[in-house]
Amino acid sequence: MKNGERTISSALKNSILLVTSNENKYKEIAEIAKDYKVELEWLKIPKLEIQADTLEEVVRYSAIVIFQLVKRPLIVEDSGLFIKSLNDFPGPYTNYVRRKLGLEGILKLLEGKNDRSAYFKTSLCYIDEARQLLFNGTVNGRISDTIRGEKGFGFDPIFIPEGESRTFAEMSTEEKNRYSHRSKAFKAFLEYYTNQ
Amino acid sequence: MKNGERTISSALKNSILLVTSNENKYKEIAEIAKDYKVELEWLKIPKLEIQADTLEEVVRYSAIVIFQLVKRPLIVEDSGLFIKSLNDFPGPYTNYVRRKLGLEGILKLLEGKNDRSAYFKTSLCYIDEARQLLFNGTVNGRISDTIRGEKGFGFDPIFIPEGESRTFAEMSTEEKNRYSHRSKAFKAFLEYYTNQ
């Protein structure tokens, strides 16, 4: 019966809820998790986000609130663009700023600034009955001078990753994923989770 | 004994916690409340704020969370600057944007835009065991072309209220308070609260 027990316990262990209202995000991440034989279930709810200067604070709070409701192991993730010469703006408010100021707003704020360096970052929080764990993934790069490319979403058309001349929006999904801050964060978690 | 009873019941009724980490804000509002014979106690904690597009959502959530902890009638307030040609940016993120982009950032974003109209708004949420009530106060105006004046705080040096040529930062506190969105919101609440 030892094998049977192990199967049951692995099945329980490997079912984790991923909290996001974005189906593409769920699909992208579930694909990565499959490589690690971890099953992600999609919990399609908008996550409650607090105002904070760091992504880590945002996802920790969301995770604990949602865990108190569903009482099952789950992951909350959040991503942001941090621009050095703007004191890390827009950071945790990246989606809001994208909607309100657009790509043009960011280019305007950077007019006349020599330092255009920036990074994308994902923070994810895994929570279960015993633990709350944080994992990060980042991709360094710079803000382009103009809007370029049609692919991707968010600030992709003005972000050029290190070692590249194209923006994220000029790359295929596959190319972009090689750099992806989000996949880095999830791989860090999955490495930890499957090797504990 | 009727008078005695009334005194006790008024005393209980009139003690409300004001949640803010800002002493100046507490003093300013406690002064207004005195005129209505309402006693405000200062609950000096940073209020937990969610990410939302409206101040109303922010204060409602904070109020219910803090009420669950302290179980006493309390008020949470939040204020923001809403700029029309920037789709109401920075709105509920006014403090964050002030710290990250400064006054200069806002002036830069408005370069070349004809419409400089904007308003300051305060939303307050009163909560007790039976009710959760919202009150707003606004002051209309426009964003100045340059930074002017040393008084006040936040975006005062670039905000000119309707019917004025000076910015808030060029006015005395008394003058500014005549227009104040914050005092309007609190007076609306106090009128309601003392007349129910």
- The closest of B57, B96, B77, B48 to A64, measured between CA atoms, is B48
Least reliable range by pLDDT among A19-28, A57-66, B35-44: A19-28
N-terminal to C-terminal alpha carbon distance within chain B: 23
Interface contact B109-A105, CB threshold 8 A: yes
Tell me if chain B has a CB within 8 Å of the CB of A113: no
pLDDT digits (tens, 9 = 90+) for A56-98: 999 999 999 999 889 999 999 999 999 999 999 999 999 999 9
- Mean pLDDT for the stretch of residues B85-98: 97
- Mean pLDDT for the stretch of residues B65-78: 94
Tell me if chain B has a CB within 8 Å of the CB of A51: yes
- The closest of A93, A112, A77, A94 to A158, measured between CA atoms, is A94
- Mean pLDDT for the stretch of residues B33-44: 93
pLDDT digits (tens, 9 = 90+) for B122-135: 999 999 998 999 99
**Which two three-digit tokens encode residue A164?**
């590249």
Tell me if chain B has a CB within 8 Å of the CB of A105: yes
B54 is in an annotated binding site: no
From the list B50, B105, B111, which residue is nearest A49 (CB)? Answer: B50
- The closest of B178, B71, B41, B47 to B124, measured between CA atoms, is B47
Burial A137-166 (b: 16+ CB within 10 A, else e): bbbebbbbeebebeebebbbbbbbbeeeee
The pLDDT value given to residue B9: 42
What are the residues whose beta carbons fall under 8 Å from the beta carbon of A193, sequence distance 6 or more? A36, A38, A126
- Mean pLDDT for the stretch of residues A15-25: 89
Domains of chain A are 2-195 (3.90.950.10)
The pLDDT value given to residue A187: 95
Question: Is B78 marked active-site?
Answer: yes
pLDDT digits (tens, 9 = 90+) for B108-120: 999 999 999 999 9
N-terminal to C-terminal alpha carbon distance within chain A: 23
Are A150 and A167 in contact by the 8 Å Cβ rule? The answer is: no
B87 is in an annotated binding site: no
Which of helix, strand or coil describes residue B145? coil
pLDDT digits (tens, 9 = 90+) for A148-162: 999 888 999 999 999
Are B186 and B18 in contact by the 8 Å Cβ rule? The answer is: no
Distance from CA of A12 to the nearest CA of B (A): 33
The pLDDT value given to residue B177: 79
- Mean pLDDT for the stretch of residues B30-51: 91
Exactly one of A78, A88, A115, A128 is catalytic; name it: A78
The pLDDT value given to residue B152: 82
Interface contact B89-A101, CB threshold 8 A: yes
The average confidence (pLDDT) of chain B is 90
Q: Which residue of B has its CA nearest to A102?
A: B86
The pLDDT value given to residue A14: 54
**Which two three-digit tokens encode residue B37?**
């014979």
What are the residues whose beta carbons fall under 8 Å from the beta carbon of B8, sequence distance 6 or more? none
- Whether B27 shows a pLDDT value over 90: the answer reads no
From the list A50, A86, A101, which residue is nearest B49 (CB)? Answer: A50
The pLDDT value given to residue A1: 39
The pLDDT value given to residue B14: 54
The average confidence (pLDDT) of chain A is 90
The pLDDT value given to residue A25: 86
Tell me the β-bridge partners of A159. Answer: A143
- Whether A5 shows a pLDDT value over 50: the answer reads no
Q: Which residue of B has its CA nearest to A82?
A: B100
What are the residues whose beta carbons fall under 8 Å from the beta carbon of B171, sequence distance 6 or more? B149, B151, B152, B164
Taking CB atoms and an 8 Å cutoff, what residues of chain A touch B110? none
Q: Tokens 């692995």 map to which residue? A: A10
Q: Which residue of A has its CA nearest to B89?
A: A100
Binding positions of A for Mg(2+) are: 49, 78
From the list B58, B87, B105, which residue is nearest A100 (CB)? Answer: B87
- Mean pLDDT for the stretch of residues A163-169: 96
What are the residues whose beta carbons fall under 8 Å from the beta carbon of B51, sequence distance 6 or more? A49, A50, A51, A58, A92, A93, A96, B92
Q: Please state, as a whole number, how many other Cβ atoms lie within 10 Å of the Cβ of residue A130.
A: 6
The pLDDT value given to residue B153: 84
The pLDDT value given to residue A178: 85
B21 is in an annotated binding site: yes
Burial B50-72 (b: 16+ CB within 10 A, else e): bbbebbbbbbbbbbeebbeeeee
- The closest of B93, B175, B176, B183 to B137, measured between CA atoms, is B183
